[in-house]
Structure 1
């Protein structure tokens, strides 16, 4: 009888018995599955939360901050800056009152504008040379400050034709303003705001003078002075 039972048991496949995991193995596998499920759930939540950042609209710092600080400008800078606009503004005003285009006044306005353009280039040198200045005396600061004086020199070369001369001065004022606001933004906010105001008025005055050239008849200022005598 014993031999019969032993023979029957020998035919039973032992692979199923041996391959059956124990209780501890089942718990380990279950915990691993739970951990993976939690990680997958957390990854899904992170994907939902982390949305691609939309590019913020680039607003000019000049409009947001610098122009607001115009009221903080030192009074000497404001008064002297506004006084420096008199040679620009007075020329088209006189022509409009006299209803006459005076080329001598237009040339004087253009020459004064060329002087201002050269002055703006020199300001960068004076700002970059001190040891504690935020602007370094490198090629960027000192090299770009040479461009406005060169444009002013080219403008004076066109003294026989005031239209390209005035256009060259306008370009020089625009480039100097671009340097101070965008390329070399190390000036105080109040100074940049004041620069915008003064530059716009100066450019507008030059444009008005060019427009009056085609509106009013041309007359030499020396001839009108001799007739008045």
Structure 2
């Protein structure tokens, strides 16, 4: 991905590991069994994805809050308000079982990408931000879909 600094790129990819691991352990029974024995049942299948996904939505609220500091006045109020939405979404919408929670995380990450696009449009993000966010979000959505649709 040209133009994305190495540190954010590789750290972003590393942040995908729990989502990918969750999908792999959902798809492979032997890997799931191994993961349960070695890591514990909360670190396999949809459970690791749901917990980690909620954490990441909350983390991304903080990132958007940081971008909001680059503006002032009514636009700042708008940006700060929008920045807390992913964390609130994770808090209120990730209960009700793994399928419901996973579906709501998909909506949450899709909404987050729209917020990323708005902040990018307002020139509050680095110029490479959307290239990275689209890549990461696509992988997250695909991994979450494994736990919901397969």
| Structure-2 separation of matches of 1:117 and 1:84 | 12
2: CA distance between counterparts of 1:97 and 1:165?
A: 21
RMSD value, Cα: 2.2
CA distance in 2: counterparts of 1:169 and 1:95, whole angstroms: 17
Normalized against structure 2, the TM-score is what?
A: 0.81
Q: Secondary structure at the match of 1:170?
A: helix
Identify the match of residue 5 of structure 2 among 67, 70, 74.
Answer: 74
Deviation per CA, 1:146-176, whole angstroms, max 9, x where unpaired? 11111100134x1x51111111111111111
Q: Distance in 1 between matches of 2:119 and 2:65?
A: 15
Given that 1:154 and 1:168 are in contact with CA atoms closer than 8 Å, whether structure 2 keeps it comes out as no
Distance 1:173 1:162, change over 3 A: same
Q: Which aligned pairs between 1:136-175 and structure 2 lie closer than 5 A?
A: 136=72, 138-156=76-94, 158=95, 161-175=97-111
Bigger CA radius of gyration: 1
Structure 1: 5+ residue stretches without partners: 1-69, 213-229
Structure 1 segments of 4+ aligned residues over 3 angstroms from their partners: 99-104
Q: CA deviation at 1:71?
A: 0.6
Q: Which of residues 18, 21, 30 in structure 2 aligns to 1:90?
A: 21
Contact 1:114 1:155 in 2 (8 A): no
TM-score, scaled relative to structure 1: 0.54
- In 2, the alpha carbon distance for the partners of 1:177 and 1:151 equals 14
**Stretches of structure 2 lacking an aligned partner (at least 5 in a row):** none
